Structure formats: C-alpha cells, structure tokens
Structure 1
C-alpha cells in the first residue's frame, strides 16, 4: 500500500504526498468560486508543506481547474512559490491540462516564466503517463 499524507486541503485544492514515489499530487477540485486570494492561500499552503517532505516533483491535476491565472498572479507565483519549490528540492512539474483554453494557456504561461524554468515541466492528458514521467530517474528527463 502506498504511503500517502494529505499535506493541504481546502474547498478548491487537495494536496497529497506520495512518500514512496516522492511526489506531491495537487488536485484542483473545481468546487466553489476561486479567487486570487484563495489561489495564493492554496499555493502557499502546498509550498510550505513541500518544504517538510522529500518530494522531487509535483503532479498538478488541473482537469477541473477553470481559473485563468492573471499576469499579476503569474508573477506572484514565480516570485513566491517557485523559490519555495526549489528550496524543497522540487525539480519536476507535471500537469494534466484542462479543456478550458484560457485556464490551460495561463498555466503554460505561468510555467514559462524565467524562475519556473529552473524546474523541468511537462504537460499531459493522461495521469499514468504524467506519473511515470515524474518518477523516472533524472537521467531520463527528456
């Protein structure tokens, strides 16, 4: 049985650490109305929890994520969250992308920012493929 720890949970986001596979799953629920402040609160909660665990990557399930991330929020993420991820040893980010074009585009733009480029990022339509990529050895990143 997989060792899992719920790191953070609110109406919009559930973050679970898979200890054996050394990654965090961020699952956006699509519940309720997400605001900039609630997005910041969730991202900060997950990033702080990541500092306390030996995760190497984060798999972000955004299939129900319908919140376009504004340019200001993208900048905030890169100035505040990415440094915490890097301090925690997070080197990979895998995203399951939503159908919503604007939400998908804003996610890709956020991860294209200069600081976020310190992490290797890939986009997927299949959870199993995303997980396999996330947990494979560093030599096989590409």
Structure 2
C-alpha cells in the first residue's frame, strides 16, 4: 500500500492510497487551532474527496484533543456530507481520540451529518473506531 501525500499543513496531512481508493487523513497534535485553520483543513479535505473520488475515507483523529464550536460542527457536517455525496464515496471511518471533549465534538458532527441527509441522495456510511486496524477492517474491499 503506497500512500501519496496530497496536502500538508500544521494541523493535518492528507494522503491517497490508489490501490485501496482510500483518502487518508492524519490530524496532528497541536496546542491550539483557530476556527479558520480548522475550516481551511476541512475545505481541503472536501476538495480532495471531489478530485480523487475515493471509495472510502479514513480519518485518524487520535491526536485531536480540543472541542469544536457547535456552529463549526454544523458547518463541517454540511461540507463533508456534500463532498461525500458528490464524490460518491461510500464509507467514512473515524478513528477518534479518547479525550472527552474531542470525542463529543466528533460525535456531534456525525449526528449533524445524519440530520442533514436528504432521502434519495447517494448514501454513505460512517463509523467510529478506537484504532486504525479496526477502521481498516470495517472498510469495504476496493471496487476497482
């Protein structure tokens, strides 16, 4: 499995695995992130989903240990849902931090995504995991 680095910032690195049709997100540990930095990183993720049209996204957020503002959670959910629909991705695996506030923020984002869905649109599923191995095992085989 060869990962191609697509984007790197102070808060995240995005890779693509062509063999697996997997977009891999690796959030980095950092002291503080402002709302603008987070939104820029999410916008880039959405651009990559639309450009590379992965079958699956694996989001490693283990290093994330901060809360996300409710209005930003809603914005992320809308942007991500739109990109997953338009990019025809089918699975989103989230490897989450055990930090209470980070876990709560991510859970709220997932709930926002479910609430934002329109019946009849391309559907995709998401799940949360504690390890990357669990997430990989859940992802579907590649539809080449």
Same fold (TM over 0.5): yes
Q: Secondary structure at the match of 2:65?
A: coil
What is the CA distance between 1:49 and its match in structure 2? 1.5
What is the CA distance between 1:26 and its match in structure 2? 0.7
**Where in structure 2 are the equivalents of 1:37-48 lying within 5 Å?**
37-48=36-47
What is the CA distance between 1:67 and its match in structure 2? 2.2
> Matches of 1:116 and 1:127 in 2, distance apart?
26
> Matches of 1:88 and 1:3 in 2, distance apart?
22
> Matches of 1:67 and 1:92 in 2, distance apart?
25
Indicate conservation of the 8 Å contact 2:46/2:79, yes or no. Answer: no
What is the CA distance between 1:79 and its match in structure 2? 2.5
State the match for 1:119 in structure 2.
Answer: 124
Query: Which deviates the most, 36-45 or 79-88?
Result: 79-88
Unmatched 5+ residue regions in structure 1? Answer: none
Indicate conservation of the 8 Å contact 1:23/1:135, yes or no. Answer: no
**Where in structure 2 are the equivalents of 1:1-142 lying within 5 Å?**
2-113=1-112, 114-115=115-116, 118-136=123-141
> Matches of 2:131 and 2:79 in 1, distance apart?
29
Following TM superposition, the consecutive aligned residue runs of length 4 or more in structure 1 with deviations greater than 6 angstroms are none
Indicate conservation of the 8 Å contact 1:21/1:135, yes or no. Answer: no
Please list the CA deviations of residues 13-71 of structure 1 after superposition, one character each: whole Å capped at 9, or x if unmatched.
00111111111111111134211110100010111012111301111111100121211
Indicate conservation of the 8 Å contact 1:7/1:46, yes or no. Answer: no
Q: Calculate the aligned-residue CA RMSD, in Å.
A: 1.9
Unmatched 5+ residue regions in structure 2? Answer: none
Q: How many residues align?
A: 137
